[in-house]
A and B are shown apart, each in its own frame.
Chain A
Amino acid sequence: MSESSFKLVEGNKSLMERLFEPPAIGKMSAMAKVVAYGLLAFWSLFVIFPIYWVIITAFKDAGAVNQGPFYVPFVDFQPTLDAWRVHFSVDANCDLYSIGRQFFLLAYNSLGFVLSPVVTIAPMEPQICKVYLAFTNSLVIGLASTALCVSVGSLAAYALVRFQYKPKFGNALVFVLLALLMILATSYMGIPWYVSAAAALALFFLLARALGKRFKASLGNGDILFWIISQRILPPIVVIIPIYMMFQAVGLLDTHLALIIVYAVGNLPIVVWLMHDFFAGLPIELEESAQLDGASRFGIFWDIVLPLTRPGLAATTLLTLILNWNEYIFAVFLSTAKAQTMPIMVAAKNAGEKGILWWEMCAIIVIMIIPVILMAIILQRYIAKGVLLGAVKG
């Protein structure tokens, strides 16, 4: 038996240890502090500077932008509100009255949309301030698609945690086959899409009924979950043209509804993935006890499950909202005038004949950034809790 003891002696330290070894646990050596705060300061500067530059550019005029770099407002250039005036006061339609009127029109047109199966109410389309239109568009599309996405996504995520599904592999094959047939018939034979779609759908239900029992191989919850999440891999550019054609066919191009649905589907995988983990972490006893008390499935979901996952739900909602707010590529394809969102407004400033109108563009970017920074501060509580990690732990 070896009787030696293994001690670390403080005397013989290497150079690195001398410089970086902390004086006590929970403290840092002077050298380590210099390095750490130096790096943090550098990175903070790197993060802040582009944002700072965008903000001050929004208060410059053409001269201050084009005649070389000016850094500090009031010191080396005189800030102006020119860029903002372009958006708000030069535009004859951009006053408080028309903004109030826009709220009325929004309500009026929504009502018209809701009542459209019953009576036809002609939508009012006034000439209004472009920035204001884009901002309301972004807001309405962002909020509505987030609501749609989070509700549909959490329902599915919850279902995949608590119910057992056994879809038949064969039925999926039949669906794919019929979808292809429908596409071929519409594209090459000129059959109207609604005829072929109805035929395909009818055939699918018939075949699924008839053949369903013969298919042996079935899939499980894990496969469905993987299938939904893996949709995130799909590059938007693959589906964008067909989606464009589809919305064209039903006359929904350049409407809020088109973007709301597309954004919701695009973010569905993220919502299902995050919420699945939150739901899986819940104890089943509460739900079982509620079931014994006679609550319905939806009642349990609404009254018991959702409140329990509130922090996760909040984080997921905010994340989805931010993604929707910033989305660009779908908006480029699917909105031309009426449903234009903020990112399109930003990009539009690139197309001027006099080159890029940086100051005007920056003003719009600032308008876009402000709500998002506010959200970052709200989200900070959840970031701190590491809620986002939950999903990554797998």
Chain B
Amino acid sequence: MSSKAGVPVTFDKIAKSFGHVQVLEELSLQVQPGEFLVLLGASGSGKTTALRILAGLETATSGRILIGEREVTNVLPKYRDVSMVFQSYALYPHKTVAENIGFPLKVRKVPLAEQTAAIRDAAAQVQIDQLLDRYPRQLSGGQRQRVALARAMVRRPSVFLMDEPLSNLDAKLRGHMRAELKHMQSTLGTTTIYVTHDQIEAMTLAHRVAILEKGVLQQLDTPANIYNDPANLFVAQFIGSPPMNVVHGSLEGSSFQTSGARVTAPVSGRISKAILGARPEDCTVVAPAKGDLKAEIYTVELIGDHTLVTVKAGQDLLTVKAPKDFSGNTGENIGVSFSRERLFVFDTESGARIR
């Protein structure tokens, strides 16, 4: 069984431009056999283009694509042995569920008996074997999603490609489908490349996450590493909810200088415009005149198991994760202290992390 082993995928210096617009800049990326890789980025980051180039739906301006050992840069989609789930599901409205799932087999002229068996298997795997005779318009969003998955699975491709497959579902269903998708991928063991703009999806599903911005790969690492050790300011702010706090100032030696305060930094150097980053859970509200920064309370929001306190320090707004019994009034003076070993320093100009 070939699919169980999984197949590696390689992007080798893939670049793509539409006219004068550079969408991808020399993207190089190795996907391990059987890996679940998520391409994460905002809209316009080039993530979908990268996926479509891998599928063969777009042609790269330069660079090579390898699936396994085989170079497929100039191969038609149908000979690449990949299957794709579209954001819109792209179900054929005039075909029943069974005909939709069986379409890849039909065009391969697979014998009818074998087709029927394969359709049943695939439908059973996504639990839609009761719906085979329905038309897509008679299905709910979640069911359509499953049909699209079954159609992608039925021919056992070497690589699954998914383009924001969950974004058309409501929040509750999305969480449910996420878990099922992850389970399915780990049982099948097929290499999967998944495009999303949703960081929760990326963090929960991926073995590794590749973060793209403006066509440039920012960081490729496991979800935990991306969270705990962001490569630059963009990644630091893109991942995490609420996002990482930033304090503007300058780095002088091993201390970070900001309006009237001085924080001991985890690194040393000399940069006139620098940013200090701290995640909300790494900050604490302390008594005024204590801690690292002087601040005043801007607003207090009770979330449930914790309270988010937004404070104003100089020109910067900081969010602090406080216990749920926190109490304080808007305008009240307080202090903020950081856990020193979990602070990051970035260069304001380039966004690069200072290590």
Q: Which A residues form the contact surface with B (CB < 8 A)?
A: 1-10, 21-27
Q: Smallest CB–CB gap between B204 and chain A, Å?
A: 28
CB-nearest residue of chain B to A22:
B76
| B173 touches A (CB below 8 Å) | no
A5-B155 in contact (CB<8A): yes
B81-A25 in contact (CB<8A): no
A5-B78 in contact (CB<8A): no
Q: Smallest CB–CB gap between A393 and chain B, Å?
A: 14
- Among the listed stretches B54-62, B89-97, B295-303, which one makes contact with chain A, having 4 or more residues with CB under 8 Å of it? B54-62
Chain B contact residues: over half helix, strand or loop, or mixed? loop
A10 to B81 alpha-carbon distance, docked (Å): 11
B59-A26 in contact (CB<8A): yes
Known contacts A8-B81, A10-B76; 10 further A-B pairs (Cβ under 8 A):
A2-B118, A2-B121, A3-B1, A3-B156, A5-B2, A6-B110, A8-B79, A22-B76, A23-B74, A25-B76
B121-A1 in contact (CB<8A): yes
Given the known A-B contacts A3-B1, A25-B58, A25-B59, are A10 and B75 also in contact in the complex, defined by CB atoms under 8 Å?
yes
Given the known A-B contacts A2-B118, A6-B105, A7-B81, are A25 and B157 also in contact in the complex, defined by CB atoms under 8 Å?
no
- The residues of B that contact A26 with a CB separation of less than 8 Å are 58-59
- The residues of A that contact B2 with a CB separation of less than 8 Å are 5
Q: Smallest CB–CB gap between A118 and chain B, Å?
A: 63
Q: Smallest CB–CB gap between B309 and chain A, Å?
A: 40
Q: Give the top 5 A-B pairs by smallest Cβ distance, nearest first.
A: A5-B156, A6-B155, A10-B79, A3-B1, A24-B59
| B179 touches A (CB below 8 Å) | no
B3-A21 in contact (CB<8A): no
| B355 touches A (CB below 8 Å) | no
| B108 touches A (CB below 8 Å) | yes
A9 to B121 alpha-carbon distance, docked (Å): 24
| B114 touches A (CB below 8 Å) | yes
A10 to B75 alpha-carbon distance, docked (Å): 9
Q: Smallest CB–CB gap between B182 and chain A, Å?
A: 21
CB-nearest residue of chain B to A27:
B59
B76-A21 in contact (CB<8A): yes
Q: Which B residues form the contact surface with A (CB < 8 A)?
A: 1-3, 56-59, 74-79, 81, 104-105, 108, 110, 114, 117-118, 121, 154-158
- The residues of B that contact A2 with a CB separation of less than 8 Å are 114, 117-118, 121
Q: Smallest CB–CB gap between A17 and chain B, Å?
A: 10
- The residues of A that contact B118 with a CB separation of less than 8 Å are 2, 6
A9 to B76 alpha-carbon distance, docked (Å): 11
A181 to B1 alpha-carbon distance, docked (Å): 86
Contact with A25, one of B1, B77, B105, B108 (Cβ below 8 angstroms):
B77
A4 to B157 alpha-carbon distance, docked (Å): 10
A336 to B207 alpha-carbon distance, docked (Å): 85
Contact with B79, one of A1, A9, A22 (Cβ below 8 angstroms):
A9
- The residues of A that contact B76 with a CB separation of less than 8 Å are 10, 21-25
5 contacts between A and B (CB under 8 A): A6-B118, A7-B155, A21-B76, A24-B59, A25-B77
B74-A24 in contact (CB<8A): yes
- The residues of B that contact A3 with a CB separation of less than 8 Å are 1, 156
CB-nearest residue of chain A to B155:
A6
CB-nearest residue of chain A to B117:
A2
A6-B74 in contact (CB<8A): no
A241 to B286 alpha-carbon distance, docked (Å): 98
Given the known A-B contacts A24-B59, A26-B59, are A4 and B77 also in contact in the complex, defined by CB atoms under 8 Å?
no
Given the known A-B contacts A23-B74, A24-B74, A25-B76, are A6 and B104 also in contact in the complex, defined by CB atoms under 8 Å?
yes
A8 to B156 alpha-carbon distance, docked (Å): 12
Chain A CB count within 10 A is highest, among B1, B58, B74, B76, for B76
